[in-house]
A = this chain, B = another copy of it.
Amino acid sequence: MSNLFSVINHSIVSEKEALVHVSDLSIQRGYGIFDYFRTVNGKPVFLDAHIERFYNSAKSMHLNTSVNSQELKDLIYKLISANNLPYSGIRITLTGGYSTDGYTIASPNLFITQSAFNFNKNNFANGIKLISYEYARELPLIKTINYLQAIYLQPLIKSKNADDVIYYSNNEILECPRANIFIVTQENELLTPANGVLKGITRNTILSFNEFGGKEAAITLEQLYNAKEVFITSTTKNVLPVLAINDQLIGTGQPGIISSRIYEKLIQLKEV
């Protein structure tokens, strides 16, 4: 453990004191939501979008926050100031609280933790390999803490020499456990799954780049395999080219030109 600080409910505490009683509904029933954003040179990136999604997730899961968004921001800035970690990831977690019957939502517990994170610019050129797996998250529009399936699949992913998994359902691709996916078709259309996925902040930012004409669409597994380029997106990954899926090369098996242009624009915007 480091010398960092964390937030528990309304208080800043040393990281080692960031403790939760086992009766919390996250431990009892996996019930909670979170969000995660980065700081670059000490400044939170896309903070408002993350906070908006955090409150939407909380509301959808019937979790009442005891702080409003301005109070939450104040806590975040206090933590940033206390920790003095210019390049970091900050996670805000809200759980079902200390439930007396182990099932009913109580007064939610809020935790904010920060850890060093340095973006590695070498990852883009290396790209990644995915395997496909049939699964759809139960509440896909909500950023819940449920990653059971994803972590359960880690040994399978490693055994296939892959880096991550792309979920699909009814022959349509959905998302990776911690990232959205985009394809560039042979007709140079930029597409990302429309439904049944978490609306990632990086995904939404890329869709807002007019010059690439990104669109939401239903995308089949066949379209994925036949794409000219495939890449995944997330707060920590920015844009990562997918060079192979289930041992089939995508395009030339090299990062594509559109992926590269979107990546450059994104890291310029985020000042990574």
The size bracket of the interface on A is 35 or more
Contact across chains for B152 and A61 when beta carbons are under 8 A apart: yes
- Chain A, 145-174, contact with B by CB distance < 8 Å: what is the 0/1 string? 111111110110000000000000000000
B22 touches A30 (CB 8 A): no
Residue of B nearest to A138 (CB): B149
Bound: A53/B6 CA distance, A: 37
Chain A contact residues: helix, strand, loop or mixed? mixed
Cα-based distance from A144 to B178 in the complex (angstroms): 20
Chain B residues near A23: list those with CB within 8 A: 18, 113
Instruction: Please judge, given known A-B contacts A27-B32, A104-B154, whether A139 and B148 are in contact too, CB under 8 Å.
Output: yes
| Stoichiometry, copies per complex | 2
Asked if A260 lies at the interface with its beta carbon under 8 angstroms from chain B, I say no
A62 to B151, CA, bound (A): 9
Contact A6 B22 (CB under 8 A): yes
CA distance A155 to B178 in the complex (A): 29
Residues of B within 8 A of A178 (CB): 103
